[in-house]
Amino acid sequence: MTKRKSPEEKAFQKPTSRKRVAFSAPKDAATKALIKGNALTSPLLRLPLEIRNKIWSDVLGDRLIHLRYLYDHTVDFATSDSFYANSRWSSTLGTTYGSVWRHLVCEEDCPENQEDRNWTTSYGFLSIRPHFACEVDLDYEPIEPNTIYKEWYCCGHEMMRLSVLRSCRQIYVEANKILWTTNTFSFADPTTFKRFIVTRNINQKRSIKSLRLQMEWDTSDGKEWNRALNMALVKSVTGLRRLRLRIDHKLDATRYELIKSNNLLYTTACCEGLQKVSTLPLTEVEVVVKNPQFISEDELWTKVDREDFAEGFRKILVNPKGAEIYADDQLKWKEECRKQREYAAMIKASMSRPRLQAEAERMADPPLAGPSD
């Protein structure tokens, strides 16, 4: 027999996430008749389908949409998929803090290879990315999609107006596909990317055609993006055809030359997640490698090095056998890491041997007798 919960227990119970139900076609005759009547009497729905699609595209399509998910940093969402689905609740804070989506439409979309604006300051080399203003506004502007926007929420950027999708079923069916197939969704952090994809329904995932990913990594930092770009997630976006990838490296020029000389440029740990993306039938891939925003001048890559690295990575992503090529490169990288560990262990052993030998000799020699009384 199930024990009933007290009011106090119910008050502290974590909220459960509701199952997302995909849109379903009407089944009763009255609803079908209403839809048919709207199609015959509505001035908008009486327009030819080609004109309606043009209207839906002007309202909802062909945009670069920057997204960010603000969450409670005291909870490790990235490592708990079961908690990820219900990340509105923070057990640490005892509140629903953190489940805030922010988005904006990029006003001045530009090619990824557009040069950054650079300055030399007293602190080093400063680089300003083309979409830096959008990133700042995402941090401070209170923008939430899927809500009725108030006048005081408006900022300098355009926002997606999704209320048209709730007007009637026919408009939803016609316009919803345009929303997912014609827009480019842009992500600058792995948590936002993973959260966005895993919370879409199957049709939405399969309809996504274009993504923009902005990554910051070096040879020792790539685990978060690798967790986000897991194979299950990559397989769910089977309709993806266009990828825009910006990489802000944190690898100094000396280390870059060493890895390049060993032919291991594309086998670093931070590239592991992108290897899975190469299994998708991508048709358009744009890869750009940039110097990070704050870096000393002696650590800057040359423009030729950045372009060569980007082109090599682009070929891996568009190659139908890119996954196999990358797997071979991973074996090379693991072998190189093994050699480095063995070499480091050998150096450590050689440095500690004289000390151990002296200690052994001291323990073997009998102590000197003291003066007799």
pLDDT, one tens digit per residue, over 228-282 is 888 899 999 999 999 999 888 777 677 777 767 766 566 556 677 787 888 888 9
- Per-residue pLDDT, averaged over 134-162, amounts to 54
Question: Residue 247 domain-assigned?
Answer: yes
Count of domains for the chain? 1
pLDDT at 102: 81
Task: Look over the chain and give the mean of its residue pLDDT values, rounded to a whole number.
Answer: 72
73 token code pair: 């940093």
Q: Say how many CA atoms lie within 13 Å of 94 toward its Cβ.
A: 2
Contact (Cβ atoms closer than 8 angstroms) between residue 204 and residue 241: no
Interval 26-55 mean pLDDT? 85
Range in 49-58, 86-95, 167-176, 338-347 the model is least confident about: 86-95
Q: Which percentage of the chain shows pLDDT scores above 70?
A: 57
pLDDT band, residue 221 (cuts 50/70/90) = low
- Residue 187 maps to a domain: yes
Residues 6+ apart with CB under 8 A from 203: 22
Q: pLDDT exceeding 90 applies to what percent of the chain?
A: 19
Q: Which segment of 58-67, 320-329, 338-347 scores lowest on mean pLDDT? A: 320-329
Domain contains 147: yes
- 8-23 pLDDT, tens digit per residue, is 555 545 555 555 555 5
- For residue 119, the 8-state DSSP code is E
Domain assignment present for residue 342? The answer is no
Which SS3 state, helix, strand or coil, does residue 285 take? strand
- DSSP letter (8 states) at residue 122: T
Q: Is the pLDDT score of 300 beyond 90? A: no
Nearest Cα to Cα of residue 273 among 247, 312, 234, 236: 234
In the numeric block, which tokens belong to residue 60? 């909802």
Per-residue confidence (pLDDT) for residue 28, from 0 to 100: 77
Return the beta strands (E) in 72-225 as ranges.
Answer: 100-105, 117-121, 124-128, 184-187, 210-217
Residue 250 is encoded by which pair of tokens?
């944190």
Token pair for 236: 């769910």
8 A C-beta contact, residue 351 and residue 316 = no
In the three-class reduction of DSSP (H, G, I as helix; E, B as strand; rest coil), residue 230 is classed as coil
pLDDT band at 343 (very low <50, low <70, confident <90, very high): confident
Chain centroid to CA 134: 16
Q: Is residue 13 part of a domain?
A: no
Determine the Cα angle at 222 with ends 216 and 224, to 5°.
95
Which structural domain, as residue segments, surrounds residue 87? 46-335
Which of 112-121, 165-174, 182-191, 263-272 reaches the highest mean pLDDT?
A: 182-191
Are the C-beta atoms of 256 and 305 separated by less than 8 Å? yes
